[in-house]
Amino acid sequence: MRIHFFYSNSGGGHFSAARALSESIERLYPGKFQIALFDVISYAPEPFNHILDVYPMMRSMQEKGSSLGYRVYESGYYLVDNKIATTVLGQIAMPIVKNTLANFLAQNPCDLIVSTYTTVNGALARLLRGSVPYAIVDTDFGAGHAFWFERDAAATFVSNQAAYDRALKLGLSPSRVQTHGLPIARAFTLPKQSKLAAQEKLGWNIQLPMLLLTGGGDGMGKVYETARAVNECRLNVGLAIVCGRNEQLLRNLKKCEWNIPIFLYGFLDDMATMMDGADILLTKAGNITLAEAFARGLPIIIYDRIRFQEDGGVNYVTENGAGVFTPNLRDLLATLRVWVEDAQQREGYARASARLANPQAADNIAKEIVKLIQ
């Protein structure tokens, strides 16, 4: 039997979730299913295939000192975050995408589709009409966008109670909504390495509190500004920065003079070891990154977020005591100074973070996905 995962590389951890789930199915049911992953937006007709350009555009504008890209994206996200808007947009788009999607499905037949991306779900609901079952895995914390939720989906998997409530509010049957947490890589389900072992593996042999700074896979958010501010406040710490696919950010950071031990990285697959070696995570509010931090019990400082889209993650972290949201650099540095100097307070946030962990989410969702075609 064939299972197809539809994802997009347009940020949000969509690919990470699809990969984690596909690997769980292959491990739990070896040789039983044929699994394929498709970056569905790259197959879309004009102009929908340019959705992938949104994140690089925002990143480029941010590097030039402009937040306009963020603001435009946030406004658009907010304006269409309701069922009336998504229905109307679906009706407008359907004549354009129908033939392309139908041809794709004819050339790539399957027994089940699993979507880890938002905007494709309405088109799937209208086109499939029950001919092929499909499931949706919402990769947001909290009240995800209305595009996530389609009544015709055989199952919708959400991260927490707020997301569950949102699904029901938008008309989904409680019997078709399940809460398991966000699917993350298997490395985060394995026992945590000791901090010393992880640091030795990474070459962080500095015997100082280690800060891990990341902007997700696309290196978004105020990574450069945050790194420079941490450097200039001269805390007695080491700093590891993961730039993701943002090669310009990595080049810019390499040109800087540093007052503290610094470790610079591009895109990484082994974030589990990085988090095992860190004492504090500084991050944009990417949902998969937050779920990974919970699995490693890291205290979290969120320095940036995309409004509306990532508000759920910010609220989930702060309301549960797993970290703080400090979009102002002065507040960030003040919090960081307290956490570095007061290990007991830092550990309180770390324990709260660990309580939110759902490291087995990928396996649990995988088992439920397989039930849809057994």
CA distance 142 to 156: 14
Query: How confident is the prediction along the chain (374 residues), in pLDDT tens digits per residue?
Result: 999 999 987 665 899 999 999 999 999 999 999 999 998 877 776 666 656 566 566 555 555 555 666 676 677 777 778 878 787 777 777 777 778 888 888 899 999 999 999 888 888 888 887 788 999 999 999 878 888 999 989 999 999 999 999 999 999 999 999 999 999 999 999 999 999 999 999 999 888 999 999 987 777 778 999 999 999 998 999 999 999 888 999 999 999 999 999 999 998 889 999 999 999 999 999 999 999 999 999 999 999 988 878 899 999 999 999 999 999 999 999 999 999 999 999 999 999 999 999 999 999 999 999 999 98
- Which homologous superfamily is 187-355 in? Glycogen Phosphorylase B; (3.40.50.2000)
Give the global pTM: 0.91
CB-CB neighbours of 42 under 10 Å: 11
Pick the CATH number of 2-183+360-371 from 3.30.390.30, 3.40.980.10, 3.40.50.2000, 1.10.10.2520: 3.40.50.2000
Residues of the chain with CATH 3.40.50.2000: 2-183+360-371, 187-355
Neighbours of 61 (CB within 10 A): 16
